[in-house]
């Protein structure tokens, strides 16, 4: 069975999507529609901007979303997923690709999410750190010992957990991780404490937009980040999508559940190849490939 997976923030690169725009009429029309919906030419920043331009959350998130969903659209009848999943932002791409959201509705939600997250980051600064070579349970226990906001944010693969919280909380937690035998506890260059309680203002702001959006039953199960389980009910999908902002991304559990349910081939649609690497670290027996 074939699973399609969609990357999240961090996979962007200058020139992303340009070959699609130049060589495919469907892609070109969708990119131009996106420029119209967003009110600025995001294609100029994607194709010819600077790395600094692409690092702005309000640009990064819609750019990665566009690259991913337009790739899926250009596959036409070849795109026949048995299941889909996306990492953080990529969950929106997965939902559009699977027909749970329209392209335009998905783009508006991603743009609203990006702006809400940026505002939350500016209101209460925070950061994230990657912890290597400690069990998930140990990372959780050590975060709980810190007298500040800090917790697991991304369960990427066995032995790789990203933690998120206040700068002080992350510093204290990193020290504990290294003392406990972590190979590394490395602070990341990110704009804020994503997937932590510090994103509550963004969640509050996005709630109305998600509630008012038209969600449909997807063509296949969507394995969502909040619980690592398959969902097809629009109401559940909405609730999980909103919860995702302040909850950890359980990517390890998503992939394990998909494999348990029969996935033996994973195709990554979008910039980069990070998810292919994570899937292989979770289970070497499955086939992986990508399109970008």
The contacts of residue 56 (CB under 8 Å, 6+ apart) are: 118
Q: In 130-250, which ranges are continuous DSSP H helix?
A: 136-145, 167-179, 200-212, 234-243
68 catalytic per annotation:
no
Q: CA–CA separation, 210 vs 102, rounded Å? A: 13
Q: CA–CA separation, 245 vs 87, rounded Å? A: 12
Q: CA–CA separation, 121 vs 112, rounded Å? A: 14
Q: For the stretch 86-96, what's the b/e string if a residue is b when 16 or more beta carbons lie within 10 angstroms of its beta carbon?
A: bbbbbbbbbbb
93 catalytic per annotation:
no
The one catalytic residue among 67, 87, 195, 231: 195
Query: Which is nearest to 202 in space by CA: 292, 268, 110?
Result: 110
Query: What's the DSSP call for residue 249?
Result: B
The one catalytic residue among 88, 93, 111, 164: 88
Q: CA–CA separation, 182 vs 180, rounded Å? A: 6
Instruction: Tell me which residues are annotated as active site.
Output: 88, 195
């Amino acid at each position: 069975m074939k699973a399609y997976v969609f990357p999240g923030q961090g996979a962007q690169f200058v020139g992303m999507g340009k070959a699609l725009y130049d060589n495919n009429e469907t892609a070109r029309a969708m990119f131009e529609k996106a420029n119209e919906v967003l009110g600025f030419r995001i294609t100029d920043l994607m194709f010819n901007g600077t790395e600094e331009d692409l690092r702005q959350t309000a640009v990064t998130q819609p750019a990665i979303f566009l690259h991913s969903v337009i790739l899926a659209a250009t596959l036409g009848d070849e795109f026949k997923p048995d299941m889909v999943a996306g990492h953080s932002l990529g969950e929106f791409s997965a939902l559009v690709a699977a027909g749970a959201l329209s392209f335009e509705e998905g783009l508006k939600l991603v743009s609203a999410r990006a702006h809400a997250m940026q505002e939350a980051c500016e209101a209460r600064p925070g950061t994230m750190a990657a912890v290597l070579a400690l069990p998930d349970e140990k990372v959780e226990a050590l975060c709980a010992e810190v007298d500040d906001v800090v917790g697991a944010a991304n369960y990427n693969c066995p032995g790789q957990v990203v933690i998120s919280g206040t700068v002080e909380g992350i510093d204290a937690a990193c020290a504990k991780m290294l003392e406990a035998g972590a190979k590394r506890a490395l602070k990341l260059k990110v704009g804020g404490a994503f997937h932590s309680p510090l994103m509550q203002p963004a969640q509050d702001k996005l709630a109305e937009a998600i509630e008012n959006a038209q969600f449909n039953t997807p063509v296949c199960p969507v394995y969502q980040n909040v619980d690592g389980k398959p969902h097809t009910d629009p109401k559940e999908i909405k609730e999980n999508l909103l919860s995702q902002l302040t909850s950890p991304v359980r990517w390890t559990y998503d992939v394990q559940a998909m494999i348990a349910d029969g996935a033996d081939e994973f195709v990554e649609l979008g910039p980069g190849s990070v998810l292919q690497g994570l899937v292989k670290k979770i289970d070497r027996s499955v086939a992986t490939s990508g399109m970008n």
